[in-house]
Every structure is written in C-alpha cells, then in structure tokens.
Amino acid sequence: MIAGSAKVHNLNLRPAPAGGSFASMTHYGQFCPVAMGAEIFAERWTPLILRELLHGELGFNDIHRGVPRISKNLLAQRLESLRGSGIVEQVRPEGARKHLYRLTVAGRALGPVVEALGTWGYHWASKDLEDDRLDPDFLMWTLRRLVRVNALPDERIVILFRFRRHEDRSYWLVLLRPSVDLCMEDPGYDVSLEVEGTVAALAGVCLGRIEVPQAVKAGDVELRGAPRYRRALSSWLGVTHFAGHLPIHA
C-alpha cells in the first residue's frame, strides 16, 4: 500500500544507547509493518504490561501485582523500553510522591491488539489450565478487578480466601461499595465469608467456565459463613469480558 496522504504516527523508534535496555529487543531486519510492530509488542511480558495499563494510570507496584512473575528489575527495564518507544509515559499527579505510568496515544492504539489476543487466547488456548499457569496471587488480583461493585450490599463485606496446596498464603477481599481492596495480611475486620478451594476452580469461575455453586457441588470450593453471604457470592464475583466474545470460525 502506498502511503499517499495517510497520516503516519512517529513512534520515536530511535536506536538504543550503548548498553541500554533496548539492546535486548528483537529486531527482525524487515520493513514489514508486522515485523516492526512485533519488535515492540511481542517482547516477553510486554503484552501483559500493556494489559494492565489499559485499565488506566498505575504505579509500578500495581503493575507488578498484575504481572507478579516478572522480576521488578526486568519490569523496570520493560517500562523504560516502552517509554523509549513512545508507548508509555511517566506522570506525577499534583501532590503525589511517586510517579505513575500511563499509555500514550500510540500505546492506547494497541488496545484492540491486546483485546484481539485475549479473545483468541480465551477461545483457543485457555480451556485446559496447567498448574504452572495457576498463580494464586494473580488470581486474587483478577478477582479484585472482576468484583461487581453494583451488586454489593451497603455493609462492609470481608471475604477470606485460602487455597489448597498454597496453605502458606491467605487473602482478604474487603468490599465496601464503591471500594474493593485486596489485603495480603489480616486487615482486622470481622470475616463475613470464608472461601477455601483450588486455584483451578476459582480461575474457572473468573473465566466463566464454571459457576460457584457448581464448584461447591464438585467439592472444589467450600464456603463458610452466613447463608445469605454464601448465596450472594456468585452475584458479587464477575467473569472476564472475554467470555462474552464469540469465537471466530473458519
């Protein structure tokens, strides 16, 4: 296709300085737009970092909570690389002590790419979850994000989560509309509901593959608490929006 009068966005794809983090990026040596886009987007961890930032401005630690298996040093390198490519920028809100990261116009333009990748992954790559993909930290960060705030009662609800095979960890979701907080240590409130089960079962709930009552009936999840809280849990926990996308058939 000849460019003609089409507007070309300059992504500031300048060479990396000697010894800089750009040296680790893959270069395909082609002028093909697919190759040039993949040099930025397809670097390991980058799609997941972009997925987090598509939710809005985030601090470094919040990005890391969404991608817990990347080392903080490597995350810092990836963010710096994305800044150099014109995909991410740093901002410091007035009165804030720390800066935040947010997507530039070019970064936000990758939103449909991330969305398409997630849709494909949901329908073609996520049906059989292996153990090495079942991270309880990421699961809880996802559950926090999927809570249906509008379905919550007016009172504070505290849900304690424990996972089989991960007995050394406990998580507390503190739900007080419109806030949803995830605590890794006891926040000191009375617990309204205890949820104990497998990471796979709760991941299936997040993915919309199974509902909470089905997981309870199968013995993969156990609920302890007042009956009204046990009944309401399904209405509080949402599912990934990818569950509503239709697969593409040949």
Contact 216, 233 (CB under 8 A): no
- Other beta carbons within 10 angstroms of residue 53's beta carbon come to 26
Does residue 10 register a pLDDT over 70? no
User: Mean pLDDT over residues 103-126, rounded?
Assistant: 94
Domain housing 199: 131-242
Same domain, yes or no: 217 and 135:
yes
Same domain, yes or no: 117 and 140:
no
Does residue 13 register a pLDDT over 60? no
Who contacts 32 (Cβ-Cβ below 8 Å, separation ≥6)? none
Burial class (CB in 10 A: 0-12, 13-18, 19+), 147: buried
pLDDT in the model for residue 128: 76
pLDDT in the model for residue 245: 61
User: Mean pLDDT over residues 114-131, rounded?
Assistant: 87
Residues 41-79 have pLDDT tens digits of 999 999 999 999 999 999 999 999 999 999 999 999 999
Q: Is residue 65 part of a domain?
A: yes
pLDDT in the model for residue 2: 38
Residues 179-238 have pLDDT tens digits of 999 999 999 999 999 999 999 999 999 999 999 999 999 999 999 999 999 999 999 999
pLDDT in the model for residue 175: 97
Domain CATH code at residue 94: 1.10.10.10
Same domain, yes or no: 36 and 119:
yes
* CA–CA separation, 97 and 152 (whole Å): 32
Last residue of a domain, one of 96, 124, 152: 124
